[in-house]
Amino acid sequence: MQSRRQLLKTFTTLSLGGLSHSVFASGEDSTINELVDLLHTNASPQAVARDESYWNKVSRYYLKGTDTINLEQGYWGKMALPVEDEYIRLTRKINQEMAWYARKHWSDDFKQVKQTVARALGAEVNEIALTRNATESFVNLITQYKGLQKQDAVLWADVDYPSFQHMMQWLANEHKAEGIALSLPSSGSKQDFIDAYTAAFQQHPNLKLMLLTHTSNQHGLTLPVKEIAALAKSKGIDVICDCAQSWGLVNFKMDDLGVDWAVFNLHKWIGSPVGVGALYMKAGTLERVSPFPGEAGGNESAQNRVHIATSDFAAFLAVPHAIAFHFAIGGENKAERLRYLRSRWVDVANTLPNIEVLGAADVDGSSGMGGFRIKGQVTQPQVSALQQRLENEFGVFTVVRQDLASGCNIRVTPQVFTTLAEIDTFANALINIDKAL
């Protein structure tokens, strides 16, 4: 197995020298190299997660907003400064060179960027298509999915991304097939969620396709995808996994999931510029999804399942830098740190009689993202009022999520630059809110 330092060097080399056109290869990036050395550690991720000096060093690579304690980092990810610098540099270069660059070098550079993404996911390059966001990847899968008949059923759950749920319903309607919306427990253990899917598979033997969200955008629950997907595959069900929130928030490779297809963006937890996504199609699955309308080519590569047309060239070209930065911190270090930050407020919330913590009831299902509400207050106006109180009385910014079957909740999402003091301010706000009830 490659050592972490070797892995970092691989990604750094790719980010610095991999692009074909000499104008774009900066040759030497002292910031990323310095970071690789600065953050090198042999400590376990659990120890790194609790090492404040480490996270203090990491946080110097980000410009934080000043107005509020921002615990709404799940919308999209802040670029680290070296990534932002690279993106600005590339944007300027693209604007100088224009079609001269795009006509001569873009295609090779695009392949190189895709190679970096595939390597980071532990996938073959032909299994990956680059897209502009997770939604684009999902739309293409759904609209080009073949062979759904009216006797078939498709499954999704309340923890799935709302517009993806709607698209699953649309797909069922288009084929006059059955659409099944599963309501998962509002909180539970790994086994509880496996049991819920097992029961759904038993109840609906006509299932043909399912959506499975790795990490929910509602409350950060991370499902045991490998176990659920293995069960689904044993029943012949095709599995699309939504990894839009998970890649970079939790640490995994494609083999850890065992799904047919997966959709990603890189602008959340990988920290690329906004406008970069990916589609994974496991080798051997392409014949079940048509190429993008009119697109040439057969089943050799996932790339002809999408057509991204004119896009933000610089955003794609900055991806190797973002991936290098992510691995410089360490995928598992980051995941553990964010889980630790969640546990710091969840441990307090769990002692409060009027607060309900949602999602993962054990470490297995937890991520850095979390969700909560006041017990019994689940309507949109009630939860919006709570969000406003947190913002106006305590200076803590969060967001209301509205799609769990059990009602609305507040989503709480720190980032690698969030301090323990900020989490503690939020936990104290919960204590005060609870006391006043």
Q: Which of helix, strand or coil describes residue 46? A: helix
Taking CB under 6 A as the binding criterion, the range among 129-137, 196-204, 347-355, 378-386 that sits at the site for ligand PLP is 129-137
Kindly state whether residue 213 participates in binding ligand PLP, applying the rule CB under 6 A. yes
Number of residues that bind ligand PLP (CB under 6 A): 11
Cβ at position 359, least distance to ligand PLP in Å: 13
Beta-strand relationship, 261-265 and 277-281: antiparallel
Shortest distance, position 256 Cβ to ligand PLP, whole Å: 18
Task: Mark the segment that binds ligand PLP (CB under 6 A) among 9-17, 185-193, 238-246, 384-392.
Answer: 238-246
* Options 70, 73, 222, 265; binder of ligand PLP; rule CB under 6 A: 265
Residue 384 C-beta: closest distance to ligand PLP, Å: 19
Is residue 72 involved in binding ligand PLP (CB under 6 A)?
Answer: no
Whichever of 12 and 415 has its CB closer to ligand PLP, that residue is 415
Distance between CA atoms of residues 330 and 4, nearest Å: 8
In this complex, which beta carbon is closest to ligand PLP, that of residue 279 or of residue 355?
279
Region of 22-30, 131-139, 142-150, 293-301 interacting with ligand PLP (CB under 6 A): 131-139
Strands 355-360 and 370-374: antiparallel
**Packing angle between helix 380-394 and helix 420-435, nearest 10 degrees?**
120
User: What string marks each residue from 81 to 120 as x (binds ligand PLP by CB under 6 A) or -?
Assistant: ----------------------------------------
Q: How far is the CB of 305 from ligand PLP (least distance, A)?
A: 16
Q: Is the dihedral of CA 308, 304, 102, 327 positive or negative?
A: positive
Residues 144-163 that bind ligand PLP (CB under 6 A): 161
Q: Is 133 in the site for ligand PLP (CB under 6 A)?
A: yes
Q: Integer distance in angstroms from the first to the last C-alpha of the chain?
A: 54
Contacts of 322 (CB under 8 A, 6+ apart): 79, 80, 83, 266, 270, 271, 272, 273
Q: Which of 277, 330, 370, 414 is in the footprint of ligand PLP by CB under 6 A?
A: 277
Select 175 or 267, whichever has its Cβ closest to ligand PLP.
Answer: 267
Residues 387 and 68 sit within 8 Å (Cβ to Cβ): no
Contact flag: residue 245 with ligand PLP (CB under 6 A): yes
Cα four-point dihedral sign 305, 310, 315, 319: positive
Give the pairing type, strands 187-188 and 153-157: unpaired
Taking residue 345's Cβ as centre, other Cβ atoms within 10 Å add up to: 23
Give the strand order in the sheet containing 238-242.
128-131, 277-281, 261-265, 238-242, 207-213, 153-157, 178-182
Q: What is the nearest approach in angstroms of ligand PLP to the Cβ of residue 31?
A: 27
Which listed residue (12, 140, 217, 418) binds ligand PLP by CB under 6 A? 217
For residue 158, give both structure tokens: 């309340």
Instruction: Return the biggest CA–CA distance within the chain.
Output: 66
Interaction residues for ligand PLP, span 331-370 (CB under 6 A): none
Q: Which is nearer to ligand PLP, 135 or 387 (CB)?
A: 135
Indicate whether 266 belongs to the interface with ligand PLP (CB under 6 A): no
Kind and range of the H or E element at 143? helix 134-144
Signed CA dihedral, 53, 79, 121, 327: sign only: negative
8 Å CB contact between 122 and 255? yes
CB of 54 to ligand PLP, least distance (A): 27
Nearest approach, Cβ of residue 166 and ligand PLP (Å): 12
Using the contact rule CB under 6 A, the part of the chain among 132-140, 313-321, 327-335, 366-374 near ligand PLP is 132-140
Q: Name the segment binding ligand PLP (CB under 6 A); options: 6-14, 241-249, 287-295, 306-314.
A: 241-249
Number of C-alpha atoms within 13 angstroms, CB side, residue 348?
A: 18
Site residues for ligand PLP per CB under 6 A: 133-135, 161, 213, 217, 242, 244-245, 265, 277
